[in-house]
Structure 1
Amino acid sequence: MAVTIEDVRAVADGLPRSHEVVVRDRVKFRVGSIVWLAFNQEETEMGFAFPKEEREALVASEPDVFFMPRPSDLRFNWVECHLAALDHDRMRELVLDAWCMVVPKKLWPMAGR
């Protein structure tokens, strides 16, 4: 079964300090003012916080799943993926890892980390 934005919400909504916003008809999740998770308008692609130094290897290892952000976003710790290419366990792992990048380590246990 393909992952949907509702599946992602079920994980992201319960994370401390995270809140959902809509910007230019796009769903985004923030911690404070930091966007750590976002969707395209069609809600078929998900961008998420990810270490810049590791993203080229991730994209190269699974180009059918992951892709680089648009050029204007390359300066950020960010990568993107096709939701339909993820299973629920992998989506959960990606969402939790992205959230961990933007919150203090003391909060990680609240997400089962």
Structure 2
Amino acid sequence: MLGDMVSVDEWAAIAEALPEVTERPAWGMTCYRVRDKIFTSFDPERPETVGVAVDRDERSVLISAEPGKFSMTNHDSVYHWVRVTLDAVGAGEMRELLEDAWRMKAPKRLVKAHDEAAAQRDE
């Protein structure tokens, strides 16, 4: 599995590549935001995982299906968050998780503009 892991630097690069993302620390963690809403975070006290915003129903499915890859702290249970184990996830899956999290937090107009730009690139 070692060849299929994501580093903290790769996680950060994926997050930073999304539109209008800013990095601003909070509570001792590295946090990435879109329009000031946090969609992913890294806690140096839990260096093996990152937190990602996720739909609560999807979170349950992820944790049940792959408990070695996805988990939840007591704090995460109050919010729409899941912990993702970095050495258990590949770059493609991390990109998908972060884009989904970004979409949850970004304004609808920004998501629409992002989708339209992606569609034009694909033509």
- TM value normalised by structure 2: 0.79
- Structure-1 residue corresponding to 2:66: 62
Q: Which has the higher strand share?
A: 1
- Structure-2 residue corresponding to 1:13: 16
1:85 and 2:91 are equivalent in the alignment: no
SS in structure 1 of the partner of residue 22 of structure 2:
strand
CA distance in 1, matches of 2:35, 2:117: 18
Larger Rg: 2
SS in structure 1 of the partner of residue 105 of structure 2:
coil
1:74 and 2:77 are equivalent in the alignment: yes
CA distance in 1, matches of 2:64, 2:118: 29
CA RMSD of aligned residues (A): 2.0
Q: Which has the higher helix share?
A: 2
CA deviations on 1:34-56 (whole Å, 9 max, x unpaired) are 11001121532111110012211
Aligned residues: 112
4+ residue stretches of structure 1 with deviation over 3 A? Answer: 110-113
% same residue: 29
User: Unpaired segments of 5 or more residues in structure 1?
Assistant: none
Letter matched to residue 51 of structure 1: D
Classify 1:10/1:112 alpha carbon distance in 2 versus 1 (closer, same or farther; 3 Å). farther
SS in structure 1 of the partner of residue 25 of structure 2:
strand
Which deviates more, 81-90 or 39-48? 39-48
